[in-house]
Amino acid sequence: MKSIAVFCGSSAGASNVYIETARKFGEELVKRDITLVYGGASVGVMGAVADTVLEEGGQVIGIMPSFLEQREISHKRLSELIVVDSMHERKAKMAELADGFVALPGGPGTLEEFFEIFTWAQLGLHQKPCGLLNINHYFDPLVELFNHMTKEQFLHEKYRSMALVDIEPNRLLDKFDSYEAPTVKTYLNEQQT
Q: pTM here? A: 0.92
Q: Give the pairing type, strands 60-65 and 80-84.
A: parallel
Query: Is the per-residue pLDDT at 72 higher than 70?
Result: no
- Residue ranges and CATH numbers for the domains of the chain are 3-178 (3.40.50.450)
Give the separation between CA 187 and CA 125, rounded to whole angstroms. 9
CA angle 118, 124, 130 (to 5 degrees): 30
Identify any residues that bridge with 3 across adjacent strands, giving them in sequence order: 35
Give the separation between CA 185 and CA 187, rounded to whole angstroms. 7
62, 81 Cβ separation under 8 angstroms: yes
- The whole-angstrom distance between residue 12's C-alpha and the CA centroid of its chain comes to 16
Query: What pLDDT, in 10s, does the model give residues 83-137?
Result: 999 999 999 999 999 999 999 999 999 999 999 999 999 989 999 999 999 999 9
Query: What pLDDT, in 10s, does the model give residues 15-67?
Result: 999 999 999 999 999 999 999 999 999 999 999 999 999 999 999 999 999 98
